[in-house]
């Protein structure tokens, strides 16, 4: 399996609910990044968390990192229909190129 795998593969929630996505990886990392991709568009960077950080916030986004479990989670609070997209985690293992997971498809129902 790949470095950086998201779980679940797909998630459907109602507007206003929170959405949680998880990412697991296999090797040591320098940082972990989350990206969003709207249908037919390029990826957009959301947040970067370094290996010595445990939690980071950006607006309605909260990211946690547990290096002992080699896992990260992305929480989107008070979701909106506009949050509908695919979300990818990406790891920097020191190769200076990121390795992307397969993504979580989030559908927010209005």
Partner 1 sequence: DAGVIQSPRHEVTEMGQEVTLRCKPISGHNSLFWYRQTMMRGLELLIYFNNNVPIDDSGMPEDRFSAKMPNASFSTLKIQPSEPRDSAVYFCASSFRGGINEQFFGPGTRLTVL
Q: Which is nearer to partner 1, 2 or 18 (CB)?
A: 2
Token output for 74: 């992305």
CB atoms within 10 A of CB 17: 12
With beta carbons less than 8 A apart as the criterion, state whether 100 and 90 touch.
yes
Structure tokens at 80: 């909106």
Q: What six digits make up the tokens of 55?
A: 């939690």
Residues between 55 and 74 with contacts to partner 1, criterion CB under 8 A: none
Query: In terms of CB distance, is 19 or 49 closer to partner 1?
Result: 49
List the one residue from 45, 54, 57, 80 that touches partner 1 (CB under 8 A).
45
- Contact set with partner 1 (CB under 8 A): 2, 30-31, 33, 35, 41-45, 48, 88, 90, 92-103
């Amino acid at each position: 399996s790949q470095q950086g795998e998201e779980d679940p593969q797909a998630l459907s929630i109602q507007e206003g609910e929170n959405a949680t996505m998880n990412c697991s990886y296999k090797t040591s990392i320098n940082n972990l990044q989350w990206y969003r991709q709207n249908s037919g568009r390029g990826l957009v960077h959301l947040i970067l968390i370094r290996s010595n950080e445990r939690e980071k916030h950006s607006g309605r986004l909260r990211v946690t990192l547990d290096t002992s479990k080699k896992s990260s989670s992305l929480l989107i609070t008070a979701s909106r229909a506009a949050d509908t997209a695919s979300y990818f985690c990406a790891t920097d293992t020191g190769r200076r190129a990121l390795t992307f997971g397969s993504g979580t498809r989030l559908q927010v129902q209005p």
